[in-house]
Structure 1
Amino acid sequence: MTLTSGTQTGGIALLERPDCSVVDMWGEIDITLRNEAGAALAGAFERDLPVVVDTSRVTFIDSAGIAFLVQLCRIGQEEGLEVTVRCPPPAVEDVLRMLDLEGAATA
């Protein structure tokens, strides 16, 4: 199952792999993607598998995008699921560090 945004500037998609759920994020991550973010969040945790958040292609992220990442990391911690943020750009990495979410391993 893949959930994608209809916007041209950015998107969030859930990619279901046998061993994990990949939340793929690209381009500009902002409030306009709240529906895609909600669907990806729900789908990822329904599967009860480790979650990999691929932020390698994120070019911009606003407070709504950061809130989505925080929610992913915190729910993962609460559910006992490993959440890994893959290739975060410096702005994302800095925010994760400031919010003490480095436990969401970055790779």
Structure 2
Amino acid sequence: MPETRAAPVGGITVVEQADCTVAHLWGEIDESLRDQASTALMRALDRDLPVVLDTSEVRFIDSTGVAFLIQFCRVGRDDGLSVRLHEPPQVVTDVLEMLGMRDMFDDEPSGRREPEVRSGPVVR
């Protein structure tokens, strides 16, 4: 009997734009994405450009996922980079607010276009 694989229920991809690096998080952000999170963090920080964490399609986030967001922000800040959340859903903002960490991310610039997370070189 052939092996069947379940479709991924979450993921992290990195899109390199000219003026920033977008890490697009979707679905369930948990322990199973640890390797993707590490790759995304390294790739984004290597570019030395502002970082956008697009969490607009996150449906669930556990403590590992929250730790990834916080680590991304802290390491980015240590490197002098702007790190912001793009359209975080309530499931993300509720946890960050409960931990008192919502304000650690930069605000979305007003009037700026949405990041185009599905075009450009993707690093998985």
Fold shared per TM-score above 0.5: yes
1:38 matched to which residue of 2?
38
SS at match of 1:66: helix
Report the identity percentage. 48
Do 1:22 and 1:51's aligned partners in 2 also have CA atoms closer than 8 Å? yes
1:49 matched to which residue of 2?
49
2:82 matched to which residue of 1?
82
- Structure 1 residue 89 displacement after superposition: 1.2
> In the aligned structure 2, how far is the partner of 1:40 from the partner of 1:57?
17
Which has the greater radius of gyration? 2
Query: What are the Cα deviations for residues 80-100 of structure 1, in whole angstroms up to 9, with x where unaligned?
Result: 100010011112113333243
Q: Which runs of 4+ in 1 moved over 3 A?
A: none
- Cα root mean square deviation, aligned: 1.7
Q: How does 1:58-97 map to 2 (within 5 A)?
A: 58-97=58-97
- One-letter amino acid of the structure 1 residue matched with residue 101 of structure 2: D
Greater mean alpha carbon deviation, residues 21-30 or residues 86-95: 86-95
Q: How does 1:92-107 map to 2 (within 5 A)?
A: 92-97=92-97, 98-107=99-108
Normalising by structure 2, we get a TM-score of: 0.76
- Structure 1 residue 101 displacement after superposition: 4.4
Gaps of 5+ in 1: 1-5
Q: Identify which of structures 1 and 2 has the higher relative contact order when contacts are C-alpha pairs closer than 8 Å and 6+ apart.
A: 2
SS at match of 1:38: helix
- One-letter amino acid of the structure 2 residue matched with residue 18 of structure 1: A
1:3 matched to which residue of 2?
none
> In the aligned structure 2, how far is the partner of 1:75 from the partner of 1:7?
31
> In the aligned structure 1, how far is the partner of 2:53 from the partner of 2:107?
9
Normalising by structure 1, we get a TM-score of: 0.87
- One-letter amino acid of the structure 2 residue matched with residue 90 of structure 1: Q
- One-letter amino acid of the structure 1 residue matched with residue 15 of structure 2: L
